Each structure stands twice: as C-alpha cells, then as structure tokens.
Amino acid sequence: MAACWREGGSAGDNVRIARAVTHARTGAASGGLTVWRGPGARHTLTPAIDSSRMTPTTRPHPPAVRPLEAFLASAAPRLALPAVLALAGVLACTTGTRSASPIAARSGTWERTEHALAWKVGDSTRWRFSFDPKAGKPYFHPVAAGSGPSLTNFKPEDHPWHYALWFSWKYVNHVNYWEEDRVSGQAAGATRWAAPTIDARPDGSARITMRLTYARPTGEVDLTEARVLDVSAPASDGSYTIDWSMRFTAGKDGAVLDRTPMPGEPNGVINGGYAGLSARLAAAPATMTVISTEGPVTDFRGERARPNAAAVAGNFSLAGRDIGGVAVLSDPSNSGAQAPWYIIDNKRDFRFICAAILAPSPRTIAANGELALRYRVAIKPTAWTQAELRSAVDRFTVRR
C-alpha cells in the first residue's frame, strides 16, 4: 500500500501534489514520499515533503506505470528538476489519464543558477529574478509578456544604477542608497541581503523570501527589511503578477526616508521625488503610452508626469503591434487610494515608472519602528485599459 493524494480530487489537488513533490527537494518538513514504480518496486524521494500540504489516503499503487517510467528515465536529463519531481508525484498517485497535471498544462521550466531563478517557456525567458550579492540590488530582468521582448531595461548607460524592476530608497538618514559610483559601482549606503528562500512550483508560480539590511559606510545598520515576492502562475495568455510585500524595521536611531526635493520646494528640481519600487522600461524602437485608473496620462512637463492614482501602466508596441503592458498597483495602506507616481518618457530611451511614496513628503520611522509596503506588478501581452486597471486593483485589494 502507498500513501497517496486523493485521485478523485480537484485540479487544485493535482497542483498541490506537484507542489508537495517540489517541497521534497527543499526538505520543508519530516517524512517522505513513496513513489511506486511497478509491482514489487518503489522509490522514496528524500528529503521530505511538507506534510501540511498533504491529504493522504491509502490505496494500492496504480498499475501500468511502466510507459511513464520509461519516459521519465529517458527524459529526466532534459527536464528541469521540479518537472521531474512533479512527474514522479503523478506516478505515485495517478493513472495515465491524470498524468497531464500542472507541468503539461503550463509547458514551462525553471532555470535555477547560484544567483538567479527564471521561468522559461521554450527558449523564451518570461522573467528572471537575480540576487547576486555582488550586484547593488536584487532585481527582475528580463520581464516579458508571452514570447515578446523584455519590457524592462537593465543598467542603461545613462543610469547604470537602474536595475530594471527593483526597489531602492533614495536617502536613509541622509545617506544615498540610490545612485552608485560609476567607477566602483557602489552606492554610499549599502543594500545587502542573505541568500533567499525560494519555493518554485511546477505551475510556474514562486515565492521568494529575503532578508535585507541597509547600512551606512560606517557599517551601522539604518534599516532591516523582510521581503516576500509572490509570482503567480502564468495565465493562458502569458500574463502574470509579481506581488511585493516589504516590512522595514528601523535601527536604534530610527530612519528618516527622504528624496531629492520636489519642484516648488526649497532647492527643488524637476527630477525630485523618486524613491521606492521602480521600473526602468523598454527603450525605442518600442513606443510607450501610459494609462492610470484615472485615465490616460498625457500631462508630461519636461518629459515627466506626476499623476495620483491607484495604479498606472506602461503599454508598449512595436511596429504597430502590442508587445505588452506593465502595470504597478499600490495598496491603499501605502499612501492612500490615490498614490503618487513619478513617470518619465522622453520618447526615445528613457522610460521610467516609480511608485513615489515619498513624493508628498519624507517619512520617519521611529527607533525600532516598522513600515509595511505592498505592491503588485502585473504583466500582460496586450495594452492595459483604464477599466482593466480598475478591475485589477479591485482584485488586488480584496486579497489583502
């Protein structure tokens, strides 16, 4: 007899089977998963799976699994490891009629290196999250919708500290954490992080959990951060979301979060106000239009716009064809229902969207106090409309 998931369960049960097998790779809890490989033979996957995800029943192992065994043996060297483990989970608990669960449905694979995680479909990288400690910030690049080109722009010559899709404060306790020296590649304030914990699932979804510190040149820590990134499984059209949940804790001296002064303030400049979650976006020959939950964003002064809205999106086209849209949604708890944004479009090589949470004013976190921020980045292969953005905001805020 073998401990298996209920064969009569929903499609969601099958997703959980594959997820549980993926947990076997990371050793989330005690126990083991027994995979039957035919009469009189079995193979136990270790380390163990997260038993909290399981609803086991007990029944005889399924017959006639040898054709799938043969496929697994021949294909394993060419499959990403999570896909192999997911197929093994299917062998444990399903017959051939149920073997096409999340892996076959999504037809994507994980690519994992020492310092990056990527979701690929064929030769197309849909997104990659990089966390090399030698880089200035952790970041997403490329970020693509479907099989189209990347909608992000990584470390352009004009601003090599722009990390495609990333988060950075500008000033913390008067120390610059944003700009980097062009020679050393280092910012005055250092953003550091430990290796993340990654739960990459066979359906293309992932959870990435990180601990970060923000330290002055003296080594004194201004802030620590607990960051959780939840990437959704891709929809049938290739669209997906990346949820950013960040909780900052100030050090013993507290933390003053500041930015370059805004126009109209003492010493204010046209480029004042930026800091926070940011996206450096695709350059020409792609064209960009901007939409918000309040309507089209057209009031650009000095190539800059500063709308207030629950969400904004950059829509991209090439030769008259949509290549995708990137929307950024701000949780109302961040800065109210009408969040401040800082957007640049010079119609050539500088496209930029920033959730400019400090634009209205600097913020102060008391000693050992906390600040929580939550955003969603939503990518799809067609242009966002105002109605679609509003609907996306409703779905995002309902799930708080």
pLDDT in tens, 292-323: 999 999 999 999 999 999 999 999 999 999 99
Residues 321 and 379 in one domain: yes
Q: Which residues form the domain of 366?
A: 111-398
- Over residues 343-384, the pLDDT tens digits come to 999 999 999 999 999 999 999 999 999 999 999 999 999 999
Enter the tokens of residue 91: 């062998």
CA quadruple 70, 76, 82, 85: dihedral, nearest 10: 30
353 forms bridges with which residues in the sheet? 279, 343
CA–CA gap between residue 107 and residue 127 (Å, rounded): 15
Of 52, 87, 106, the residue at which a domain comes to its end is 106
Distances (CA, A) of 296 to 66, 314, 315, 339, 345: 58, 10, 11, 16, 14
Instruction: Please indicate, yes or no, whether residues 85 and 211 belong to a single structural domain of this protein.
Output: no
State whether 131 and 68 are in the same domain.
no
Who contacts 364 (Cβ-Cβ below 8 Å, separation ≥6)?
Answer: 254, 255, 256, 257
pTM of the model: 0.76
- Give the count of domains, the chain: 2
Other CB atoms within 10 Å distance of the CB of residue 263: 14
Tell me, yes or no, whether 95 and 148 share the same domain. no
Beta bridge partners of 296: 291
pLDDT at 20: 43
Inter-CA distances, 305 with 95, 159, 214, 284, Å: 57, 19, 29, 19
- For residues 215 and 69, state if they share a domain: no
CATH number for the domain that contains residue 143: 2.70.98
pLDDT at 148: 86
- Give 65-100 pLDDT, tens digit per residue: 333 333 334 444 444 444 444 444 333 333 332 222
Task: Tell me: do 234 and 343 sit in the same domain.
Answer: yes
Neighbours of 110 (CB within 10 A): 19
Whether 190 and 259 map to the same domain: the answer is yes
At residue 106, the pLDDT reads 55
Residues 91 and 181 in one domain: no
Residues 184, 64 share a domain: no
Where the chain has pLDDT below 70, the residues are 1-106, 399-400
- Boundary residue ending a domain (106, 121, 136): 106
Residue whose C-alpha is closest to residue 55's, from 2, 1, 3, 103: 3
Q: Which residues are CB-neighbours of 224 under 8 A, at least 6 positions away?
A: 211, 212, 213, 214, 248, 249, 251
Same domain for 213 and 185? yes
One-letter amino acid for residue 327 of the chain: A
100, two tokens? 């096409």
Q: What is the pLDDT of residue 107?
A: 81
- Residue 224 and residue 310 in one domain: yes
Choose one of 56, 83, 106: the last residue of a domain.
106
Residues 56 and 133 in one domain: no
